[in-house]
Amino acid sequence: MTISINNAHLYDISAEITLVFALSTDELLHEGVLNELGFKAEQDETCYLSEFKTLYVGVEANEHDLFRSAAATAIKTLSKYTYSSLKLAQYDINNTNGIFTALVEGFLLGAYTFDLYKSEKKKVTLNTIIFSGKTLEEQGSDISLLEKALVYAHISSEATNFARDLINMTPEEVYPAKLSQIAGDLAKENGMECKILGEDALKEENMNAMLCVGRASRHETQLIHLSYVPKNPLATVSLIGKGLTYDSGGLSLKPASSMVGMKLDKSGACAVLGIMKAVSALKLPVEVHGIIGAVENMIGADAYKPDDVLIAKNGKTIEVRNTDAEGRLVLADCLCYAQEKVKADYIFDYATLTGACVVALGQHTSGIMGHSKELKESLGRSADKTGELIGSLPFNRYLKKQLKSDVADISNISNKPYGGAITAGLFLDNFIEKENKEKWMHFDIAGPAYVESAWGYNPYGASGAGVRLTLDWLSNLK
């Protein structure tokens, strides 16, 4: 899809259909007809006027995320028609409130479809979107500012859709070695370094917790380390992703219905790959390391077992009480590796870690956990700008006691069925060095990473949660 900016007024631009976003029906060109048809300009409400070749889409308030959703609605609606081009005006002079960026993202995210496994592909003719550089009231924007925003929005959306594709692909197609290959190809295309550690190298690194999780799989467990290193970086950031290419639950076998969709358990890893793709494409002045634990958790004669005691990379012993709490074991070793190999100013990990987080915050919100109030606040600002919903879940000393083990340093699950998202975060906290506590943030993206119904500008399946939020945060580092 080609998106461009033309400095002419909307009605002087040639396109097959005009798109108008309406906060109300007052003073619209076709006000009378819209009122006759009962159009109320409610959020994402559409009204297509065939005789005027105009689509109206309602927006409840002058907020960027509402425009982002409305743009996605528009693109989905127009995909049913045979138009190849559309035009629209500006709704935010100089992108001051981020509405232009939101509209571009809404179009590109809303147009996403995953039809890799469909024998018949749906044909969409709409391939050209032209923005006027002026509002309907003929107020003009600085085109250079809009063009800069357009490049950013295009890259952020492409990276999100890239992550969506990887998450949606089947476990038979994307297994640990294949994920490593994808990361290697990405590194070559975008001028990054890529290091892959196989099982022999992981043994040398004493990453026994991660190795045990993948022991029953026919696919080799691998660690992926991508590095983007610009000259004179403003900061160094490590991003760690949970890459369970499939999770059967292991010997603590999931119910059959809960296994469907478990290709989503690599969402954290795919988010990291999407972020790395965007960071390198934008050439941000930040050194970024993407570290992924690529593992498959299966059953078999060699599977790790409840009652096993594992020794993590940092020497801590872990009592296994449930083999379906495997993601935190993988992340524990990867967090230790990241801190040993990279002296980072910030350490973020991303994982579809707990169903408890979905219970606490719902399907559309990621949970964040950590010790730094300032870091949470800065991430909150990026969440507001990108429309990615986050909720902070607080650590406390009482929940920490629920991870106590009588036979090892720590248990891999809580001894009580409460606060499961927080106790999972507290488990990871055991593998963060004291000097790095204020630098670390844990993202439990179990809710929004993969939802089996479309919502807003997100499709059925993978959303790419974490990509745009983190990219905005990295873009604003000083």
Name the token pair of 12: 């002087």
Residues 6+ away with beta carbon under 8 Å from 123:
none
Exposed, middle or buried by CB within 10 Å (0-12, 13-18, 19+), for 115? exposed
Query: How many C-beta atoms lie closer than 10 Å to residue 423's C-beta?
Result: 24
Amino acid at 129: I
Secondary structure of 159-214 in HEC code, one letter for each residue: HHHHHHHHHHCCCCCCCHHHHHHHHHHHHHHHCCEEEEECHHHHHHCCCHHHHHHC
H or E element at residue 475: helix 467-475
Q: Which of 242, 263, 266, 328 is catalytic?
A: 328
Contact 357, 367 (CB under 8 A): yes
CA distance 9 to 83: 21
Residues 6+ away with beta carbon under 8 Å from 254:
247, 248, 262, 324
Among 104, 73, 81, 86, smallest CA distance to 458 is for: 73
Q: Which of 76, 195, 254, 341 is catalytic?
A: 254
CA distance 303 to 59: 53
* Tokens 């004179």 sit on residue: 232
Q: What are phi and psi of 36, to 5 degrees?
A: -60, -35
Sign of CA dihedral 4, 161, 60, 95: negative
Q: Which residues pair with 269 in a beta bridge?
A: none
Strands (E), 282-404: 287-297, 309-311, 317-319, 346-351, 365-370, 389-392
Among 260, 269, 239, 254, smallest CA distance to 175 is for: 269
Q: Would you call 123 a catalytic residue per the annotation?
A: no
Residues 6+ away with beta carbon under 8 Å from 200:
none
CA distance 43 to 60: 5
Q: Would you call 203 a catalytic residue per the annotation?
A: no
CA distance 233 to 241: 22
Residues annotated as catalytic (active site), given as ranges: 254, 328
